[in-house]
Amino acid sequence: MASEQSKCGILTLAYIMIKPDGVQRGLVGKIIQRFEDRGFQLVAMKLVHASEEHLEKHYKDLKGKPFFPGLIKYMSSGPVVAMVWQGKDVVKQGRTLLGATNPLASAPGTIRGDFAIDVGRNICHGSDSVESAKAEIALWFGEQDATIPYTRAVDQWIYE
């Protein structure tokens, strides 16, 4: 499900991943809380210790970069939390919640601005487009039944 028409309008999906540094530092709950506080709905989540092969597929667009081997080694060093979030404009708004890729360029109040310093340990990953979200969700959760649709009572207080 890439988007869902509801009484709230068009709801899209975003893939958000808490990286090994975020898991090891015990930030999973705080990061989830930020997305829930914003009004987004968690529709899929799992703890994964990804293989290098899987991570190479995820980061295929960075393969030629000099930092690629270190990125794969770091990302495979421990578990990550793979999540799918649903909401209006969730890809763009989710990236705003995360902050700039370089934490030093991230505004205070963003996840990276509050919890990270180095670009190589920037806590989380977020889809950069709706198309990327579709591909990342398929890679991490599979094509079928990736998400669990459900209605929240609170949605009437979030969406018109």
- Alpha-carbon dihedral of residues 131, 137, 142, 146, nearest 10 degrees? -110
Cβ–Cβ < 8 Å for 54, 102: no
112 annotated binding-site participant: yes
19 is an annotated ligand-binding site residue? yes
Joined together, the tokens standing for residue 134 give 């579709």
**Residue 25 assigned as binding residue:** no
Contact by Cβ (8 Å): 119, 103: yes
67 is annotated as contributing to ligand binding: yes
Structure tokens at 101: 């890729």
Residue 95 to residue 152: CA distance in whole angstroms: 23
DSSP string computed for 38-82: HT-EEEEEEEE---HHHHHHHTGGGTTSTTHHHHHHHHTSS-EEE
Active-site annotation, residues? 125
Which residues are documented as binding site for ATP? Answer: 19, 67, 95, 101, 112, 122
Which residues are documented as binding site? Answer: 19, 67, 95, 101, 112, 122
